[in-house]
Each structure stands twice: as structure tokens, then as C-alpha cells.
Amino acid sequence: MSGQGFHIHGPHDHEVEHVAQHGGDSFTSKLAVLTAVLSTVGAIFGYMGGHSQNSALLFKNESSIQKTAASNQWNYYQAKSNKQNLAELSVVLTQGEAQQKFKQEVERYQAEKKEIKIEAEKLEAAAAKANEKSELEMHVHERWAMATTLLQIAIALSAITLLTRKRWMLGGVYGATAAGLVVGAMGYLHL
């Protein structure tokens, strides 16, 4: 209600208020309760959809961080390979003590590269795992979003049914509700 005395609400709100104030018939009362329950379940599904979307974004971010770290390791590996190549060339171009020194450097670079490669591969695996988790969470998010949409359709059909008093429309209300609940269960079960 505004300060000028105007009160604006939708027809469904008026019908629900009328039932609350004057009792109404059984059909109207049951449909009003069903609508309230659907709204509550829809809000829960909406929350779960937001949660799964946030999780997907966090996993995708983690994947990006791990990919960057792996790329850095591979760059480090390449730098060690370049140094190893220079040391190998130096082995060919030198003799005596200097040649022995460069042979030791080649061996050291080979050992260092093995460790760097292992670390880079671990980081790549972690990135792939985080990416898989992100994709799974996005799939779950899509389930929650679809379930929420189906419940919103059921609520709209419920309002139309209440306004038109066409009982045959209850089939649409129940159908959309059942579909929404099934898809919500699929989201909950990560199917």
C-alpha cells in the first residue's frame, strides 16, 4: 500500500486474500495451499541452482589456476632443455676438465627435467580434474534451473486455474509439478 492510499496487486493475490478473509471453497483453498508449497519448493530449487553454479565457477577457476601453473612448469622444463642443449654442445666443443664439467651439467639438467615434468603432469591432471568437476556442477545447475522453471510454470498454471475455475487445468498444474520434482530429484542425485 502506498502513501496515497492505492493498493495494487494481481488477481491471484486478490483470490488468496479473499480465501483467507472469507473462507472460500475447498477447491480454492487447496489450490492456494498448493501454490504456496510450490513457491517454497521453487525457492529451494532456485537456491540449489545458484549454489551449483557458484561451485562450477569455483572449479573452473581452480582449473585455470592449475593450467597456468602447469604451463609455467612446462616453460621451466623448456628452459632447462635449452640449457641442457648448450651443455651438450659444450661437451662436443671442449676437452678435459671443461668437458667433464659440461657432462655433469647435462646429467644434472636431465635429472631436473624429470622432476619438472612430473610436477607439470601433476598440475595438468589437477586442472583436468577440476574442469571435470566444473562440468558436473554445471550439469547439476541446469537440472536445478529446469526444475525451478517447471515449478514456476506450475504456479502460473495454478493461478490461471484459480482465476478461470477450470478444473481440467489441474492436470497441467500436476504435470508441471511432477516434472519439476523429478528433475529436482535428478539434480539432487547429480544425474
In the structure grid, which three cell numbers stand for residue 85, read together? Answer: 642443449
* Residues 160-186 pLDDT 10s: 888 888 889 889 999 999 999 999 999
CA-to-CA distance for 137 and 130, rounded, in angstroms?
Answer: 11
Q: How many folded domains does the chain comprise?
A: 1
In the structure grid, which three cell numbers stand for residue 35, read together? Answer: 501454490
Cα–Cα nearest to 185, from 146, 156, 132: 146
In a domain, 152, yes or no: yes
Q: What is the pTM of this model?
A: 0.69
* Residues 38-97 pLDDT 10s: 999 999 999 999 999 999 999 999 999 999 999 999 999 999 999 999 999 998 888 889
Cα–Cα nearest to 188, from 149, 157, 147, 130: 147
* Residue 101: HSE in the Cβ half-sphere, 13 Å Cα cutoff: 7
pLDDT reported for residue 83: 92
The answer, yes or no, to whether residue 24 has pLDDT greater than 70, is: no
In the structure grid, which three cell numbers stand for residue 127, read together? Answer: 586442472
In a domain, 172, yes or no: yes
Which residue segment(s) compose the domain that 169 sits in? Answer: 26-188
In the structure grid, which three cell numbers stand for residue 59, read together? Answer: 572449479
Cell 525457492 appears where? 43
In a domain, 81, yes or no: yes
